[in-house]
Structure 1
Amino acid sequence: MTFEDLEPRSGRGATLTALSREDLDLYSVEELNERIEALQAEIARARAAIDGKQAKKNAADALFNFRP
């Protein structure tokens, strides 16, 4: 066990908040483009998670919906 294991985890959205507060003037154009690509990949991952959750919800609704 390390000391890192004993530290409290950051709250939900803490990383996103930190990203939004970061000073972008310190980055080059190339680094900013890489950042945009990484953020777009994260958006795609979030959208895929939403699609998966929506599909599960729709399946549950169809299974438990007894109305014609």
Structure 2
Amino acid sequence: MIRDEEPAKRRNEHELGCDLSSISADELRHRISLLEAEIDRIKSEIDRKDAGRKAADSLFGPKV
């Protein structure tokens, strides 16, 4: 197979602020789904860290 005939691989990354004009609507939808999954992953990590902080505060925080 000639290199030019190889199917284009989807990139699994998105650069904030990049030019979107040359990207197909399907690829843009794919990027949105990837970004939404990343947002969910980040929110889960924030929740985990907040829970750890609350647990530490309840053990070591000031007793009122």
| TM-score > 0.5, shorter chain as reference | yes
Give percent identity, aligned residues only. 41
Q: Which consecutive residues of structure 2, in runs of 5 or more, have no partner in the other structure?
A: 1-13
**Aligned-partner Cα distance in 2 for 1:31–1:49:** 27
Q: Which consecutive residues of structure 1, in runs of 5 or more, have no partner in the other structure?
A: 1-17
Aligned length: 51
**Aligned-partner Cα distance in 1 for 2:27–2:54:** 40
Question: Structure 1 segments of 4 or more deviating over 4 A?
Answer: none
User: Structure 1 or 2: larger helix share?
Assistant: 1
Higher RCO (C-alpha under 8 Å, 6+ residues apart): 2
**TM-score, structure 2 as length reference:** 0.73
Pick aligned residue for 1:47 from 28, 43, 47: 43
SS in 2 for 1:21: coil
Report the counterpart of residue 56 of structure 1 in structure 2: 52
**Which of the two has higher C-alpha Rg?**
2
Q: Show CA shifts across 1:30-64 (max 9, x none).
A: 00000000000000000000000000000000001
**TM-score, structure 1 as length reference:** 0.69
